[in-house]
Amino acid sequence: MNNIILSLIFTSALLIGISINSASARDLTIYTYESFNSEWGPGPVVFKSFEEQCECKIKVVTHGDSGTVLNRSILEKGNPNADILLGLNNSEIEKSFNHKLWIPYRSKLLDQVPKELDLDKKNRVTPFDYGYISFVYDSQKIKNPPRSLEDLLDQKYKRKIVIQNPKTSSPGLSMLHWTIAVFGEDEYLDYWKKLQKNLLSVTDGWSAAYGMFTKGEVPIVLSYVTSPAYHLEYEKTKRYKAALFKEGHYRQIEFAGILKGTEKIKMAQDFIDFMLSEKFQSVIPLTNWMYPVIRHQPLPDSFQIAPEPEVVPELNSSLVYKQNKKWLKAWSRAMSE
């Protein structure tokens, strides 16, 4: 009897210990957020083609969202377990500068990147894609879509909008910055107070909000201008559309950089070059649902439904870094009045 139990425990311990992916020789380690390296994300394609090009191995370590990845890199500051951090957005880069995480590198290909996307004049981080947040609506339920942030305050949208919490989600935070860029620091809270009655829920992250939207619970959701392109490409439908606003749309730019403390500077620099090359940039639209920073080739057909906004209200990223805490505090107090 005892022997049976003991042997059961030992066999299961042995079974559990068997590892499927044994650690292989690795050359370059990259930190990125979870969805970048999912089977639908750009990761599997672009990392493989870099491995073929450099004849090296890439080890990818993913951690939740971009905030978690930055979090981890800051905790490991100066002695990182990775060579590259990929996937930081414009509201986070200032923090990373403050913690002096980077070895600057300027890729020659950066000349082809539009000036307004290259936010770091010291070249500590390099942009690789960008997108705009917007309200996506179900055109079967909303016949006359809103055309401005002001329109969203209309009585007819009462409890018909779901957004994300700026305190816990990156598009949510961008929405807060969007309203500050449009209405100014003095008036954005008035806008939010009026918007409140139309919000069905303010979710913790994009997933819950977009899930509620696609499952028919709400007809309007805060997402990206490029979200409808997914539905067109994979679901063959134009039913979901992004509402283009006359105030313009807030831009999110994603960056990558070389972490200070790496011993593989040359290979890391090669990767940054590769990141701006056609092999990487052309994969971005249909996997990361963002715009590539360099158009080596025309955008896919499904992106016709995702035209780039003409007006782009912006906030200076060092202002964001300085004021963010204050804004969030004021926001949460105003919203619970």
Q: Which is nearer to another protein, 132 or 210 (CB)?
A: 210
Taking the least distance from each CB to another protein, the nearer of 105 and 291 is: 291
CB-nearer residue toward another protein: 37 or 107: 37
SS3 of residue 136 by DSSP: strand
Task: Write out the E strands in the chain.
Answer: 28-32, 58-62, 84-89, 102-103, 125-138, 161-164, 199-203, 220-224, 240-243, 251-259, 291-292
Element (H, E) at 15: helix 2-17
In the complex, minimum distance from the CB of residue 293 to another protein, in angstroms, rounded to a whole number: 21
Alpha-carbon distance values, 255 to 7, 11, 129, 237 (Å): 52, 47, 7, 31
Kind of pairing between the strands at 199-203 and 161-164: parallel
The Cα 204–Cα 220 span in angstroms is 17
Q: Are strands 125-138 and 84-89 parallel, antiparallel or unpaired?
A: unpaired
Nearer to another protein, 284 or 294 (CB): 284
Q: Closest separation between CB of residue 114 and another protein, Å?
A: 27
Query: Quick check: 67 and 87 in contact, CB under 8 A?
Result: no
Give me 242's structure tokens.
């992004």
Q: Which is nearer to another protein, 233 or 270 (CB)?
A: 233
Query: Considering the complex, what minimum distance in angstroms separates the CB of residue 280 from another protein?
Result: 18
Q: Which residue has the tokens 């509402």?
A: 243
Closest approach, Cβ 196 to another protein, in A, equals: 6
Which token pair is 125?
């981080």
Nearer to another protein, 45 or 296 (CB): 45
Minimum Å gap between C-beta 71 and another protein is 6
The minimum distance between CB 174 and another protein, in angstroms, equals 12
Least separation in angstroms between CB 1 and another protein: 6
- CA-closest candidate to residue 64, choices 29, 31, 21: 31
CB-wise, 20 or 25, nearer to another protein? 20
